[in-house]
């Protein structure tokens, strides 16, 4: 089983993964996955070190394995200080025993399906934040990460089952939130064959079903923005 959901923001929204709100976990194992679409928020460090430890231990105790792409609200210094590992065809940072960060620009194969992961986004409130305390410039991808994504998609023949991002392609992005990453994702959207594209960031649960006419004539798949919803995708 594979479920996907939206932003967690550290302890703020993590209750969506408790047994009461996510009872399906009772039939899951560590071979099953819950994917978070960015703004995971652990580890945050500093005064939150103890909270980080408690919640990561709590996630390790869940019956599933937690996977996340990064959003714009992550402590990238802590995240990128972890060693990278090869995992299911892509690159990860192991944050704890069963909490894994999916690196930008990787294609993973999970339960026979392929997933292109590309986290990151520009914070609209970055002017009011303090660099390296509660905001990190690595929230926006580097040239090397953009290239890694293009290389991984080329190796996959520009065809995957699912796309996992925090930001959205420019054609779906509101005018106030255009950024270099949205242009990159637009290029990916135009070239890539995919079934469904999941994104977070906008704190809403909305699915764009292009409809049967579109689906019969277009190679584009459909899109979901997720926040509280937990979508079962496999
Ligand atoms: Fe968020």
Residue 78 structural domain: 2-232
Per the structure, the count of domains in the chain is: 1
Nearest-CA neighbor of 113 among 227, 35, 16? 35
What pLDDT, in 10s, does the model give residues 167-223?
999 988 888 888 999 999 999 999 999 999 999 999 999 987 666 655 555 556 789
For residue 222, the model assigns a pLDDT of 86
* DSSP states of 125-170: TGGGS-BTTTB-GGGSPPHHHHHHHHHHHHHTTTB-SEEEESS--G
Distance 74 CA to ligand 1 centre (A): 10
Distance 169 CA to ligand 1 centre (A): 17
Distance 217 CA to ligand 1 centre (A): 34
Is a pLDDT exceeding 80 seen at residue 53? yes
Distance 231 CA to ligand 1 centre (A): 18
The structure tokens listed for 42 are 């652990």
Q: What is the mean pLDDT of residues 20-35?
A: 98
Nearest-CA neighbor of 39 among 59, 13, 79, 9? 9
Distance 73 CA to ligand 1 centre (A): 7
Please, where are the H alpha helices in the chain?
49-61, 76-80, 143-155, 180-191, 212-217
Distance 200 CA to ligand 1 centre (A): 7
What pLDDT, in 10s, does the model give residues 89-132?
999 999 999 999 999 999 999 999 999 999 999 999 999 999 99
- For residue 43, whether the previous peptide bond is cis, meaning omega lies within 30 degrees of 0, is yes
Distance 215 CA to ligand 1 centre (A): 30
CATH number for the domain spanning 144: value is 3.60.21.10
For residue 178, the model assigns a pLDDT of 84
Average pLDDT, whole number, for the chain? 94
Distance 72 CA to ligand 1 centre (A): 7
């Amino acid at each position: 089983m594979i479920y996907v959901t939206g932003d967690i923001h550290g302890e703020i929204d993590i209750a969506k993964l408790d047994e009461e709100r996510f009872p399906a976990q009772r039939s899951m194992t560590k071979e099953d996955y819950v994917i978070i679409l960015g703004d995971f928020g652990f580890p945050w460090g500093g005064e939150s070190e103890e909270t980080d430890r408690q919640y990561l231990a709590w996630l390790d105790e869940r019956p599933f394995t937690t996977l996340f792409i990064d959003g714009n609200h992550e402590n990238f210094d802590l995240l990128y200080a972890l060693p990278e590992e090869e995992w299911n065809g892509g690159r990860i940072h192991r944050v704890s025993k069963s909490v894994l960060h999916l690196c930008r620009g990787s294609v993973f194969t999970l339960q026979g399906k392929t997933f292109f992961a590309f986290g990151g986004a520009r914070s609209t409130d970055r002017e009011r934040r303090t660099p390296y305390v509660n905001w990190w410039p690595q929230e926006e991808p580097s040239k090397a990460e953009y290239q890694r994504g293009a290389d991984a998609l080329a190796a996959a023949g520009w065809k995957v089952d699912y796309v996992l991002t925090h930001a959205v392609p420019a054609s779906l992005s509101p005018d106030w939130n255009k950024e270099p990453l949205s242009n990159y994702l637009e290029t990916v959207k135009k070239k890539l064959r995919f079934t469904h594209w999941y994104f977070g960031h906008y704190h809403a649960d909305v699915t764009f079903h292009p409809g049967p006419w579109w689906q019969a004539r277009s190679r584009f798949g459909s899109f979901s923005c997720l926040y509280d919803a937990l979508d079962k995708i496999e």
